[in-house]
Amino acid sequence: MKTEVVVIGGGATGAGVLRDLALRGIDAVLLEKEELTSGTSGRNHGLLHSGARYAVNDPDSARECLAENKILKKIASPCIEPTGGFFLALPQDPPDYADDLLRACASLDLPAEEVSPAEVLQKEPALSPKINRAIYVPDASIDPFRLIRSNVEEAERLGAQFFPHRRVVAIFTADGTIHGLQAIDAKTGEEFRITCRFIINAAGVWAGRVARMAGAPLDILFSKGSLVVLNRRLVNSVINRCRPPSNGDILVPHGPALIIGTTSQTVTEIEDPSPEEEEVDLLLSEGETILPEVSSTRAIRAYAGVRPLMGAREAGEDSRKISRDFLLLDHGEADQIKGLFSIVGGKLTTYRLMAERTVDVIVKAMGRKTSCTTAEKPLPFPEEYTFHDLGSKLRKIGLPQSFQETGEILCECELVSRGEIVQEIRNQPYPSLKEIQERTRAGMGPCQGGFCSPRLTALLSEGGKIPPGTSLPILKRFLEERWKGTRPVMWGPQLREEQLIQALYTELFNLDHF
């Protein structure tokens, strides 16, 4: 295979780069070792930063976030819920931080407005009445899965190619210039080569490994962040603690759920990050301080992602002090490997900007003069798509009579009908269970797919989308992944439900003997 640019990594950055390249008419291929959003891009709190979180300590990041926040609200509005956000101070928080924040925001032209605690409590009655200061900022929640897929889908429509399950194993250079790479098809084990002039390393936490294949050193600091999902949307706004960045300082409403984040822990292991019990306890107790109902709300899942942070080893143990800015490294200049670029760091909110800067450099190296249009062109989304909420879902489904059109409800937690699932399965060439769940929200509710995943697996099989005889291994792999997320929050009603689900799979289906 031959192309001009190979992008490595199907996260937000890689997807954004692929779209930007495609819009500028550059022939490109995206390779992802697993599936889209399998890495850090699918393991965050889905927050569209206003920039305020970084305003005091990291003004460059804050400025970028603010600009991108406005752009994304314009080009990706169907996957953004403009919730707005608050920075809220409790008596135990540093008293000066609110003023520091207001000052920093003013100097950045970041719209931050102090409101009275009474006003906030009227809007968000579940919050702690002990709040003594409140600052409104334009935070929002964003669905990273939709966003990233939309980037890739548009790129594909413009002629770019995307290959999931392709792991890069070797990068070839001649006379200090990139001329191709070798990858393995994880499903068939087949090796194949791509000839290209440029490689963009957007492999996130794996970027160091990719760079080293070309003989380029690239040191990345890994910072694990854990999050907990509650099954009730206790607030309609993003809630930030008004204090320097710390554990458990952010709550983001997402559809019918609420995500509490985040911890920050320097780690060396990057495969399969999982939250620890102490992290879950910490997040819940911090969450409870600002939102007392957290303690009586059902936690349905915990997960962790690893942030790839750029260098700055001098920051020592505290990875929060490292800039959340990104680094675009031209290995031609740095390591005499022409045609290789690494784009690392940054955050979901700035993915588009990272892509723009990267492709600008590539275009210049090609000697072309096309400019970036990703900030103006709206991303394509299916027409019927609106940010998920159960209320509009209920209105759409209506009374049981209409089941005849949509089919029965297969995911009772999130009210997803058979019709919706069958349609998604039909539309995708090789959908995975995870992909169908992300697209429809089936399996995202309190039972975490415990009851609907066999139904979805059966439909995938009936639709001819998985090879015969693979349904049980697929289901078992899903259940093992599911268990990683549910185990850290296993108490109370969640534990009772899990007993039933365990009995279903081990006793009734006897799955552990197959």
Residues that bind another protein (CB under 8 A): 400, 403, 407-408, 410, 418, 451, 454-455, 457-458, 461-462, 468-469, 471-472, 475, 500, 503-504, 507-511, 513-514
What is the closest distance, in whole angstroms, from the C-beta atom of residue 225 to another protein in the complex?
35
Pair of tokens at residue 290: 């600002």
d(CA 496, CA 60): 48
The first and second tokens of residue 441, run together, are 């929200």
d(CA 10, CA 153): 12
Give the C-alpha separation, 208 to 201, whole Å.
Answer: 9
Nearer to another protein, 313 or 513 (CB): 513
User: Which of residues 394 and 472 has its CB atom nearest to another protein in the complex?
Assistant: 472
- Cβ atoms 415, 409 nearer than 8 A: yes
Q: Do the beta carbons of residue 441 and residue 388 sit within 8 Å?
A: yes
Report d(CA 8, CA 176) in Å as an integer.
Answer: 20
CB of 476 to another protein, least distance (A): 11
Least separation, in Å, of the C-beta of 514 and another protein?
5
CB nearer another protein, residue 371 or residue 514: 514
Q: Please, which residue, 281 or 462, has the CB nearer to another protein? A: 462
**Comparison of 80 and 475: residue with beta carbon closer to another protein:** 475
The least CB distance from residue 194 to another protein, in Å, is: 36
CA atoms within 13 A of residue 357's CA, in its CB half-sphere: 19
What is the closest distance, in whole angstroms, from the C-beta atom of residue 42 to another protein in the complex?
27
Tokens of 463: 């639709």
60: CB partners within 8 A, 6+ apart:
323, 325
Q: Cβ of residue 454: shortest distance to another protein, in angstroms?
A: 6
Q: At 377, list the tokens.
A: 């062109």
Structure tokens belonging to residue 65: 């976030």
Tell the residue number behind the tokens 């968000």, with chain if given.
Answer: 124
Question: Smallest distance from the beta carbon of 466 to another protein, in angstroms?
Answer: 10
Identity of the residue, 137 or 436, whose beta carbon is nearer to another protein in the bound complex: 436
How near is the Cβ of 447 to another protein at its closest, in Å? Answer: 10
Shortest reach from residue 123's CB to another protein, in Å: 38
Token representation of residue 99: 């003023």
Nearer to another protein, 1 or 472 (CB): 472
CA atoms within 13 A on the CB side of 281: 3
DSSP secondary structure code for residue 158 in this structure: T
In sequence order, which residues have a C-beta less than 8 Å from that of residue 181 and are 6 or more positions away?
6, 168, 170, 171, 172, 193, 194, 196, 199, 213
Asked whether 308 and 342 are in contact (CB, 8 A), the reply is no
d(CA 108, CA 55): 8
In the bound state with another protein, the residue whose beta carbon lies nearer, of 190 and 462, is: 462
Q: Which residue has the tokens 């290959």?
A: 163
CA 446 to chain centre: 20
Nearer to another protein, 367 or 464 (CB): 464
Minimal distance, residue 432 CB to another protein, in Å: 17
CB closer to another protein out of 403 and 483: 403
Q: Which is nearer to another protein, 195 or 461 (CB)?
A: 461
Question: What is the closest distance, in whole angstroms, from the C-beta atom of residue 457 to another protein in the complex?
Answer: 7
Phi, psi dihedral angles at 251 (to 5 degrees): -125, 125
Q: For residue 356, which phi and psi values (nearest 5 degrees)?
A: -60, -50
